[in-house]
Chain A
Amino acid sequence: MGIIGTPLSRVDAKEKVTGTAAYTEDLLSAHALIAKVLHSTIAHGVVKSFDLSAAWEVPGVVDIVTCFDVPDIQFPTAGHPWSTDPKHQDIADRKLLNTRIRCYHDDIAAVIAETEIAAIEAVRKIKVTYEEYDPILTIEDAMKPGARAIHDEKPDNVIVHSSYEIGSFEEASKDPELIKVTGHYETPIVQQCHIENANSFAYMEAGKIVVVSSTQIPHIVRRVCSQALGVGFGDIRIIKPYIGGGFGNKQDALTEPLNAYLTTRVGGRVVQLAYTREETFACTRTRHAMQFNIVSYIQKDGTFAARSIQAYSNQGAYASHAHALVANAVNGFRMMYPVGAIKGDAYTVYTNMPTAGAMRAYGIPQIGFALEAHVDDIIDKAGFDPIEFRKKNMMKLGYVDPITTITCHSTGLSECIDKGDAYLDYSKKRAAYAKQDGPVRKGVGMAIFCYKTGVYPISLETAACRMVLNQDGSAQLQVGATEIGQGADTVFSMMAAEAAGFTTDRIHLISKQDTDVTPYDTGAYASRQTYVSGMAVKKTAEAFKAKILAYAGTMLNRDPWDLDIRDNMIVHTNQTEPLLSVADVALESCYSLKQSEHIAAEETHHCADNTYAFGVCFAEIEVDIPMCQIRVLDIVNVHDSGIIINRQTAEGQVHGGMSMGLGYGLSEFLKFDPKTGRMLNDNLLDYKLMTAIDTPELHADFVEPHDPTGPFGNKALGEPPIIPVAPALRNAMLNATGVAFDSIPLNPEKIFFAFTKAGLIK
C-alpha cells in the first residue's frame, strides 16, 4: 500500500485555518427571514389555545405558525436508513409542532420575522393556555401502574422490552461454589455539545424545498422532511456544507423538517431556523441515561459462569433512536465477555424528559462504564488479577456472536492491554497504591471495550460513491458519507487515490453533500464510514481505474488487463516505465473525434458484514480527599481499529474521544428541576465541558491487526475512544481510596458524599 498509513495533512485543513470553510450560517443570505420557535413552559400537558394578538403587533412579523396549523402527520426523526418492513420502521411519534406536550421546551409554535429581535419579541408575546399534567420524569414513575400514557400508542410508557438468553442462566448459576457479585450502576444525561449549534435555513427553488443544514445525515434528512411534510423524496433537496461537529446529535432530523415547512409558508423565501446554545442543549437530543442491574457468577478460576443484566433506558419525550441504544448496550454486555450463560433484559421508557438520541458510541459508554466498574468490583471482592481476569473472559479471535452473528475477524485487544499496562506501569502501581493513608492518594485504573463497526446486520448498511475524470487527469470524488470533523474527506481521498493508482493531490473530494447530485449514503454514524463507505470508495476507484485502463488499452493497442495505474501513470503491470499519463488518457477520451467517452464510475457497496474494534484506557489519578478533587496524572488509550488509514487524524479522534470520556467520567451531566422537568444547566457555563486547562496530556497508541473485512484492513475508530475512559477513572478511584462509585460523573459533590459515607471525611 503506497498511501494508506502515510502521513497526509487533512485535505480540508487549509480552508479551516483560513476561515474560508463555509458552515451553514456562512451561506445564509443577508436578507433571510428569521424563524424562532416557541417552546412550552410545562413538561407535560396539552396546548388548549393561543392568543397571538400581541405577537402579531410586533413590527417585522411575517407569519406565525402554531401546532394547530401544521400538517397532521406524525414522523420519525431518527438517523436510520428507512425500512420497507413496517415492523422495523422508526417510531413516528411527533409532528412539526406538537399540541400534546411531552417535555419541557417542547415545540409548540413558530414565528417568522424580518429580524431576529422581532422574532424573539413576538415569540415572547405569544400567550398560551395549557392544560397541565404532572410531569413524569423518572423511569420508575413512568412504569408505575396507572401512570399516564405519554404516547397513546404505548399505554404503559414502555416503548420496547427486549430480552435474550444464551445458555441457561438459571442452570449455570446453580453451583454454590460460584462467587456471586451484584451491582447497580447508573449513567447520567449528557449532551453532545458540538461547538456549532443546530441550525439550518430553507428556501424554495425550481419546485423543490431546499434545506441547507448542519447535519451528519443529508440523505436521511431528505427522507424525514419528505415524510414530515407529506411530499415526495425528490421534492426535497438537502445541502450539507462544513459542519461544526455532531457527535450523534445531528444524526437526527432537528431543525430541518420545521424549517422546510416554514419556507413553504412564506412563498419559498429564505427562512433561517438557528438554535441558540440554550436551545441546542434543551431542545435537540441528549445521551440516554441508563440504569443497570448486573449479576455475575464467577468460577474460582476466574471464568464467568453466568451473567445477567437488566437495563433501563430513559428515552424522554419522543422516540428518536429509541430502543436501539439500550439494545446495543445489552448486546455490548454480552460481547465484551462472551463466556458462560448470559441473560439480558432491556427496557426503553418514555418520560417527560428531553428526547434522548444518538451520541458517540451509542449505548456502549453507558454499558462500558457499568460493566468495567462491575469487573473491578468482582476483582476487588474476589482478589483476581485485573488483567488476567479480563484476558481470560474477553472476546477472542473467531468468536461469532450467537445473536447478531457478528464475527471477530481480527483482534489486537490483548496487545492493547499489554501496551497500556507497560505505559502506565499499571500492575506494579496498582499493588503499590492498594494501601495508602493520608489525605492525598494515587490510584490506577483500566477498562477495556469492544465495539462493532457499522450497523449490519441489525440495519441496512449501504453506501455509494462516484468518481469523475477531468481532462487534466485529476478526478472528482463524491460520496454521500459526510465529513463532520472526524477526517472522512481525508481518508476517502487517500482510499480513492490508493485504489485508483493516483496520488492524493489529483483527487478532489467534494466535501459538500447535495442530495440532488451526491450519491446515496446513510451518513456519519456507528463508526461506519471508513468501513462501509470506504468500501464503496474502493470499489468505485477500482471501477474507475478499469475504465481508464480500458481506454488506455485502445490508445496503446494493448490488453487493459496488462496495464495498471501507478502514481498517475499508465504502466505495464510488470514494469515501472510509464507508457502514458492518466492526463493523456483523460484529454484524448474527452475530445477524441473517433471515440469520445466521458470517464466516470459509480458503485454501491451493500455491506453484509461486520467486525469488532477493541481498545483500552489506562489512567493514573491523584485524589485530594478533603478537597474532593481528582487530578488525572497520566492517561492513555490504546486502540485496535485495524489498519490505521491516517495516523494523525486517528490520533486526533482518540484525543477527542478521551476528552469526551473525561467529561463523562468527571464533570458533565445535565440537571433538571425535579418538579417541573426544566433543564437547569442549559449553557456552557453551568454544563461543565473540560477546558484546555482542565484536560490532562492525552496519549494515544494503536495496535494494527489487518481486518480482512475492511476495505483496507480497517475497523471502527470514530466513536470508540470515549468508551473506556470513565470506567478507567472510576477504577483508579477505587484503587486510590477503596471507594467504589456506581454512578458517574465523579464530580466533587458526589465524591464528598461518598467519602463522608466511607469515613474518609469526618
Chain B
Amino acid sequence: MYNFTNLYEANSVQEALELKKQYSNALFLAGGSDILIKLREEKIAGSDLISIYMLDELRGICLEEDGTLLIRPLTSFTDVSMHPLIKEHVPVLGEAVDQIGGPQIRNIGTIGGNICNGVTSADSASTLKAYDAVLELASLEGTRELPYGEFNLGPGKVDLRPGELLTGIRIPKESYEHTYGHYIKYAMRKAMDIATLGCSANVKLSEDKTTIERIRIAYGVAAPIPVRATTAERAATGKPVNSQLLETVAEHALADVTPRSSWRAAKEFRLHLVQELARRAVKIAIEKAGGTIA
C-alpha cells in the first residue's frame, strides 16, 4: 500500500491539465518508477497524485511531415528501444534507454519521466541533449517549445512551470540525418544500475569520411545537470578523423565538466572516465559513421 493521499486519474491531456490546475500541489504520475519509490522512502509521503499513466495519446513515436522525429513522453523505454523509427534514425537513443534497469523497469519507465525528474544520471538525457532535442510543454494556456538544452535548471529541477505537462520530444531531421552516435553508460553493473558516468557522442562526417563535419558530446553525472562538452566539440569540429582527434576531445572535455566526489565515486575517478569515455564514444561513433581511426 502506498502512502499518498488522493489519486486523480486523468483520461485526457486536457483533464490532466485541469486536475493540475485544481490540485496544484499534486504530482504527475507517469510510470511511477521514480515517484512510487520516493513514496516508499517517505520523501513525499502524503502527496496527492495525478495519474497520467493511462493516456495513450501520450504514447508513440512518429515522423512528422518535415521529417522531425516525434517521441511522445509516455513511451516506455522498451518501446523506444524497439521502435523501427528509432532504430532507423537515432539508434543510439534506443541503445541508451535499453541500458536502463532491467526488462521490468524498461517496461514501466517512460522517456518523459526520465527527463522530467531532472537527474543528471538519466540515461536518455545525455543523448537527447546531444541531439538538440526540442520539448513540447503543454498547459491550459497553450503549448510552448523549449530546447532540451535549457530544460535542466539544477539537480532534480527542470523548467516545467506550474500547470505544465511534457507532451512531446522532438528531434529535428537535420539533427539526426547522416549522424551516427554511441552512448557509453559506465556503471558498477551491466544492469539495474545508475550511471557513474554517461557519455553520448554523435558525429556527422564529411562525405569522404575523413573529417568531422559536426560533433556533439554530452555527459551525464559529470555535472549537476546533463552537459554538452562544447569546448571539446569546438576543438574537434572540422578536424581530421584520426587518433589525435580522440585525444583532443578527451583533453578538452575536462573544461566542460564539474564532477563531484560523492560516496558513489571520487572526483578524480570521474574526471578520468570523462576522458576515457570521450575517446571511446567518439571512436565508436566515427566507426559507425564509416570512418576509420588510424
CB–CB B263/A115 < 8 A: no
CB–CB B189/A690 < 8 A: yes
Q: A685-B194, A749-B265 are in contact. Are A691 and B189 (CB under 8 A)?
A: yes
Answer whether residue A63 sits at the interface, using C-beta atoms and an 8 A cutoff. no
Answer whether residue B294 sits at the interface, using C-beta atoms and an 8 A cutoff. no
CB–CB B263/A691 < 8 A: no
Give the interface size bracket for B toward A.
20 to 34
CB closest residue in chain B, given A691? B191
Answer whether residue B188 sits at the interface, using C-beta atoms and an 8 A cutoff. yes
CB distance from B42 to the nearest CB of A (A): 7
Could you tell me the distance between the alpha carbons of A653 and B133 in the complex, rounded to whole angstroms? 50
CB–CB A691/B190 < 8 A: yes
Answer whether residue A693 sits at the interface, using C-beta atoms and an 8 A cutoff. yes
CB distance from A100 to the nearest CB of B (A): 27
CB–CB A116/B189 < 8 A: no
Number of residues of chain A lying within 8 A (CB) of chain B: 30
CB–CB A685/B193 < 8 A: yes
- B155 partner residues in chain A, CB cutoff 8 A: none
Q: Hey, what's the 0/1 contact readout for A119-139 against B, CB within 8 Å counting as 1?
A: 011001000000000000000
- A115 partner residues in chain B, CB cutoff 8 A: 1
Answer whether residue B23 sits at the interface, using C-beta atoms and an 8 A cutoff. no
CB closest residue in chain A, given B194? A685
Q: A124-B42, A627-B276 are in contact. Are A117 and B263 (CB under 8 A)?
A: no
Q: A120-B3, A121-B3 are in contact. Are A748 and B269 (CB under 8 A)?
A: yes
Q: A116-B1, A694-B189 are in contact. Are A671 and B265 (CB under 8 A)?
A: no
Answer whether residue A667 sits at the interface, using C-beta atoms and an 8 A cutoff. yes
CB distance from B138 to the nearest CB of A (A): 32
Answer whether residue B102 sits at the interface, using C-beta atoms and an 8 A cutoff. yes
- A749 partner residues in chain B, CB cutoff 8 A: 265-266, 269
Could you tell me the distance between the alpha carbons of A667 and B189 in the complex, rounded to whole angstroms? 8
Answer whether residue A510 sits at the interface, using C-beta atoms and an 8 A cutoff. no
Answer whether residue A680 sits at the interface, using C-beta atoms and an 8 A cutoff. yes
CB–CB B188/A747 < 8 A: yes
CB closest residue in chain B, given A439? B276
- A628 partner residues in chain B, CB cutoff 8 A: 269, 272
CB closest residue in chain B, given A692? B191
Q: Hey, what's the 0/1 contact readout for B257-282 against A, CB within 8 Å counting as 1?
A: 00000011110110010001000100
- B263 partner residues in chain A, CB cutoff 8 A: 671, 673, 680-681
Could you tell me the distance between the alpha carbons of A752 and B280 in the complex, rounded to whole angstroms? 17
Give B240-294 interface residues, CB cut-off 8 Å to A.
263-266, 268-269, 272, 276, 280
Q: Hey, what's the 0/1 contact readout for A681-707 against B, CB within 8 Å counting as 1?
A: 100111010111110000000000000
CB distance from B118 to the nearest CB of A (A): 18
- B264 partner residues in chain A, CB cutoff 8 A: 686
CB distance from A60 to the nearest CB of B (A): 12
Give B119-177 interface residues, CB cut-off 8 Å to A.
none
Answer whether residue A761 sits at the interface, using C-beta atoms and an 8 A cutoff. yes
CB distance from A465 to the nearest CB of B (A): 42
- B196 partner residues in chain A, CB cutoff 8 A: 748
CB distance from A429 to the nearest CB of B (A): 25
Q: Interface of chain A, helix or strand or loop or mixed?
A: loop
CB–CB B272/A761 < 8 A: yes
CB–CB A117/B3 < 8 A: yes
Give B1-56 interface residues, CB cut-off 8 Å to A.
1, 3, 42, 45
Answer whether residue B192 sits at the interface, using C-beta atoms and an 8 A cutoff. yes
CB–CB B188/A691 < 8 A: no
Could you tell me the distance between the alpha carbons of A692 and B103 in the complex, rounded to whole angstroms? 12
CB–CB A691/B266 < 8 A: no
| Contact residue among A684, A693, A752, A756 (Cβ-Cβ distance under 8 Å from B190) | A693
CB closest residue in chain A, given B42? A124
Give A642-680 interface residues, CB cut-off 8 Å to B.
667, 671, 673, 680
CB distance from B260 to the nearest CB of A (A): 14
Answer whether residue A71 sits at the interface, using C-beta atoms and an 8 A cutoff. no
- B45 partner residues in chain A, CB cutoff 8 A: 121, 124
Could you tell me the distance between the alpha carbons of A694 and B191 in the complex, rounded to whole angstroms? 8
Give B186-239 interface residues, CB cut-off 8 Å to A.
186, 188-194, 196
- A673 partner residues in chain B, CB cutoff 8 A: 263
CB distance from B99 to the nearest CB of A (A): 11
Answer whether residue A626 sits at the interface, using C-beta atoms and an 8 A cutoff. yes
- B186 partner residues in chain A, CB cutoff 8 A: 627
CB closest residue in chain A, given B277? A627
CB–CB B3/A688 < 8 A: no
- A691 partner residues in chain B, CB cutoff 8 A: 102, 189-192
- A124 partner residues in chain B, CB cutoff 8 A: 42, 45
- A747 partner residues in chain B, CB cutoff 8 A: 188
Q: A117-B1, A626-B276 are in contact. Are A685 and B266 (CB under 8 A)?
A: no
- B102 partner residues in chain A, CB cutoff 8 A: 691
CB distance from A406 to the nearest CB of B (A): 40
- B190 partner residues in chain A, CB cutoff 8 A: 691, 693-694
Give A747-762 interface residues, CB cut-off 8 Å to B.
747-749, 752-753, 756, 761
CB distance from A251 to the nearest CB of B (A): 28
- B266 partner residues in chain A, CB cutoff 8 A: 749, 753
Could you tell me the distance between the alpha carbons of A761 and B276 in the complex, rounded to whole angstroms? 11
CB distance from A689 to the nearest CB of B (A): 8
CB distance from A33 to the nearest CB of B (A): 15
CB distance from B273 to the nearest CB of A (A): 8
Could you tell me the distance between the alpha carbons of A693 and B191 in the complex, rounded to whole angstroms? 7
- B3 partner residues in chain A, CB cutoff 8 A: 117, 120-121
- A692 partner residues in chain B, CB cutoff 8 A: 191
CB closest residue in chain A, given B265? A749
CB distance from B80 to the nearest CB of A (A): 20
Of A116, A628, A749, A752, most B-chain CB atoms within 10 Å: A749
Give A712-762 interface residues, CB cut-off 8 Å to B.
747-749, 752-753, 756, 761
CB distance from A497 to the nearest CB of B (A): 41
CB distance from A118 to the nearest CB of B (A): 10
Could you tell me the distance between the alpha carbons of A627 and B102 in the complex, rounded to whole angstroms? 23
CB distance from A361 to the nearest CB of B (A): 24
What are 8 sample pairs from A and B whose C-beta atoms fall under 8 A apart?
A120-B42, A627-B186, A667-B189, A673-B263, A680-B263, A688-B193, A691-B189, A761-B272
3 closest A-B pairs by beta carbon, nearest first, are A691-B191, A693-B190, A752-B269
Please name 7 further chain A to chain B contacts, defined as beta carbons within 8 Å, in addition to the given A628-B269, A753-B266, sorted by A numbering: A628-B272, A688-B189, A690-B189, A694-B190, A694-B191, A749-B266, A749-B269
